[in-house]
A and B are shown apart, each in its own frame.
Chain A
Amino acid sequence: MAIPIPENHPAAIARIEKTQLTFLQLVWLRFKRHKMALAGIISLILLAFFAIVGTAFTTEAYSNVTDTSIRLMPPSQEHPFGTDTVGRDILSRTIYGGQISLMIGLVAMAVEVVVGVLIGAIAGYYGGIIDSLLMRFTEAMFNIPQIPLLLVLGKLLADKVPPLNLFGREFSGSVVVIIAVIGLTSWMGLARIVRANFLSLKEREFVTAALCIGTRNGPIIFGHILPNTMAPIIVSATLGVANAIINEAYVSFLGVGVMPPTATWGNMLNGAYQYIESAPWLWIFPGLLIVLTVLSINFIGDGLRDALDPHSLVGSE
């Protein structure tokens, strides 16, 4: 229960002025000032639109049709983005591949956030031996370079997951593998940030107060401390989507990632460098889409970083 303050009291006026804006409005106000971040949002919406609305014009079956009599055809009326090495239409593959690439980015980010937050929160909150064990583990994961580790894990699990059916679409099992593998090899930075924040937040009065009224550890971690450290998590989750998309592209590009016929922007590039001279459309279109997506997400992340930073000032142009 808050003690009522007389209406003309300065504290009340200050509170009224502050509460005119909710936290989200405040964030949006700051975010809007970041022109590139706004451009990023618009271009990301357009990209998602491309990948979703595009499906109204072509079917996935069409994107997987191979016809070697029209292999490596340059862009034309019939195939606006040209055809690939086995005569598949590149435009419809970029549409369906885009869905997979964006989905991999989002789901891998979710895996990353769950693992990173859990490990960071537990290490930071409990401290002591749990903290040092978890942090040694984090260090060990940091010590193995991510791309080789991704390649090893991707190869290990590649054919162990059967194809699965989701939303009426057939996915190669390697999609799941890549999502898990990317998520499980990129949580370390986030875990460190969360741990550091937990270390300082758990000493604060509101945590002591919660402990005093007998709140259990679980609700304290997730209900009291975690909401106070959302800003860095949101920022690194945003950037995590971009990183996951790039990593998927790297691994698929090297032929260890998502297996055909399922298209992703990354595996469409696999082998394209051999046709750099004769068929540049093989890599230009999926490559540009990856670049655009990653760039937009990074700009949004940058804007969010400024907007969520409590030290940045409102309305100070």
Chain B
Amino acid sequence: MGRYIVRRLLQAIPLLLIISIAIFLLLQSSGDPLATMGGRRTVRPEDRARLARQLGLDKPVYMQYFYWLAGNDWVKLDINGDGISETTGTRKGVLRGDFGTSLVSRGKSALSLIGERLPNTLILMIPAEIIMLFCALSIGIYSALRQYTWVDQVVTTGSFIGYSMPIFFIALASMYLFAVNFRKWGLPYLPTVGMFDPKVGKTFGQVMLHMVLPIFSMSVVSVSAYSRYVRSQMLEVNNQDYIRTAHAKGLTERQVLIGHALKNAAIPIVTLVGIEIPFLLGGAVVTETIFGWPGMGRLFIDHLTRSDTPVVMGILMLISVAVVVCQLITDIVYAWLDPRIRYS
């Protein structure tokens, strides 16, 4: 098993390299970060040349990528434009944990910007994922155990509709109902935008209150999708011989359900969760934008629209690494859930 993990991680290295090259090329040709640097004024040509030189944007793309990857503290650079390379570079490169300095928030490193936003996203996403899994498992199992009853019919149709819903529609509709109209009707209403009320401050209760609507919106879609899987898996597993055997040897309904049926039905669900978790890390761009949640998703879209390559690269590489790690964890969990699966 240990060797398997090492091999998988080694295999991931070329994959990550290719992804990073592809994204870097796309980003470098996707816009002009200097265009927005002068604020409202247009940047003068000589300032533009000077800025490009200082930020290293005058180099050919493959050199820029190489500096991004391996740093430039071992070469002399011509920063002041007099044709003599005399200043030593300061960047350490991604391989040594330096993702570069943000082009938009000057003076801040890409990593520190990500570090500021990541906790906000995690505060939102971890409870969301737990709630989603809990709801999806209970709904899916319940409706599988009562197949073809009216409860099952309602759940199946409801989850199909929920799963077809674009998240922005649920977000806007729930905001309209629970925040706007509840206030109009004099009912207790939920806050719409942000992480906390600036008048009250960032207290636990405030953050909790502001989390309700975003989590609800994300859950509707994900719970619907998950519970459909749980239901069909449980139905399939319930027809297996080992379930009958488990019943026959006198185990309680509960033991059969949890220990035998669910454990076997869990494999595709683990796959789904394993795919979803890394993307949660990247934040839900749409949800965070609508609810004004200061997380990774908004960091991404804000800095992408201003061509801030270091930050955008940082976020995308973080997600890619998370995808690799989660896939590996998923495969290890498979082996635990189903002892027939062996890795060598």
Asked whether, in the complex, the Cβ of B15 is within 8 Å of the Cβ of A249, the reply is: no
> When A294-B166, A299-B160 are in contact, do A283 and B172 touch as well, CB less than 8 Å?
yes
Asked whether, in the complex, the Cβ of A147 is within 8 Å of the Cβ of B285, the reply is: yes
Taking CB atoms, residues of chain A closer than 8 Å to B208 are none
B163, B165, B285: most-surrounded residue (chain A CB, <10 A): B285
Taking a contact as CB atoms closer than 8 A, the residue among B173, B175, B301 that contacts A254 in the complex is: B301
One of A63-71, A73-81, A217-225, A273-281 contacting the partner: A273-281
Q: How far is the CA of A68 from the CA of B301 in the complex (A)?
A: 29
> When A253-B168, A254-B285, A276-B180 are in contact, do A152 and B23 touch as well, CB less than 8 Å?
yes
In the complex formed, the residue of B with least CB distance to A269 is B168
Chain B 316-328 interface mask (CB, 8 Å, partner A; 1/0): 1001100110000
Asked if A131 is at the interface (CB within 8 A of a chain B CB), the reply is no
One of A118-126, A138-146, A205-213 contacting the partner: A138-146
Asked if B19 is at the interface (CB within 8 A of a chain A CB), the reply is yes
A137-187 contacts to B (CB < 8 Å)? 139-140, 143-145, 147-148, 151-153, 155-156
Q: How far is the CA of A298 from the CA of B157 in the complex (A)?
A: 12
Asked if A302 is at the interface (CB within 8 A of a chain B CB), the reply is yes
Asked whether, in the complex, the Cβ of A151 is within 8 Å of the Cβ of B26, the reply is: no
B-side interface mostly: helix
In the complex formed, the residue of B with least CB distance to A153 is B26
Asked whether, in the complex, the Cβ of A145 is within 8 Å of the Cβ of B319, the reply is: yes
Q: How far is the CA of A38 from the CA of B193 in the complex (A)?
A: 40
A250 to chain B, nearest CB (A): 6
Asked whether, in the complex, the Cβ of A152 is within 8 Å of the Cβ of B324, the reply is: no
Taking CB atoms, residues of chain B closer than 8 Å to A136 are 15
> When A145-B279, A276-B175, A295-B164 are in contact, do A156 and B323 touch as well, CB less than 8 Å?
no
One of B27-35, B56-64, B241-249 contacting the partner: B27-35
Q: How far is the CA of A287 from the CA of B166 in the complex (A)?
A: 9
Asked whether, in the complex, the Cβ of B304 is within 8 Å of the Cβ of A290, the reply is: no
In the complex formed, the residue of A with least CB distance to B25 is A156
Chain B 173-188 interface mask (CB, 8 Å, partner A; 1/0): 1011001100000000
A278-300 contacts to B (CB < 8 Å)? 280, 283, 287-288, 290-291, 294-295, 298-299
Asked whether, in the complex, the Cβ of A148 is within 8 Å of the Cβ of B300, the reply is: yes
A232-288 contacts to B (CB < 8 Å)? 242, 246, 249-250, 253-256, 269, 272-273, 276-277, 280, 283, 287-288
Q: How far is the CA of A241 from the CA of B201 in the complex (A)?
A: 45
Asked whether, in the complex, the Cβ of A143 is within 8 Å of the Cβ of B160, the reply is: no
> When A148-B285, A269-B168 are in contact, do A276 and B26 touch as well, CB less than 8 Å?
no
Asked if B289 is at the interface (CB within 8 A of a chain A CB), the reply is yes
A-side interface mostly: helix
> When A145-B319, A276-B175 are in contact, do A291 and B23 touch as well, CB less than 8 Å?
no
Taking CB atoms, residues of chain A closer than 8 Å to B319 are 144-145, 148
B1-46 contacts to A (CB < 8 Å)? 15, 18-19, 22-23, 26-27, 29-31
Chain B 183-198 interface mask (CB, 8 Å, partner A; 1/0): 0000000001000000
A148, A250, A256: most-surrounded residue (chain B CB, <10 A): A148
Asked whether, in the complex, the Cβ of B286 is within 8 Å of the Cβ of A152, the reply is: no
Taking CB atoms, residues of chain A closer than 8 Å to B279 are 145
Taking a contact as CB atoms closer than 8 A, the residue among B26, B29, B172, B324 that contacts A143 in the complex is: B324
Asked whether, in the complex, the Cβ of A151 is within 8 Å of the Cβ of B304, the reply is: yes
In the complex formed, the residue of A with least CB distance to B183 is A277
Chain A 3-28 interface mask (CB, 8 Å, partner B; 1/0): 00000000000000000000000000
Query: Can you give 20 A-B contacts (C-beta < 8 A)?
Result: A36-B160, A140-B22, A145-B279, A147-B285, A147-B286, A148-B285, A148-B300, A148-B319, A152-B26, A152-B30, A152-B312, A155-B304, A156-B27, A254-B285, A280-B176, A287-B166, A287-B168, A287-B173, A291-B165, A298-B160
Closest 7 CB pairs of A and B: A156-B30, A295-B164, A298-B164, A287-B169, A143-B323, A145-B279, A277-B180
On A, residues with C-beta under 8 Å from B are: 36, 136, 139-140, 143-145, 147-148, 151-153, 155-156, 242, 246, 249-250, 253-256, 269, 272-273, 276-277, 280, 283, 287-288, 290-291, 294-295, 298-299, 302
Given contacts A143-B320, A144-B320, A156-B31, 17 further A-B contacts (CB under 8 A): A136-B15, A140-B18, A143-B19, A147-B285, A148-B285, A148-B304, A148-B316, A151-B285, A151-B300, A152-B23, A246-B166, A250-B166, A273-B172, A287-B166, A290-B166, A291-B164, A294-B166
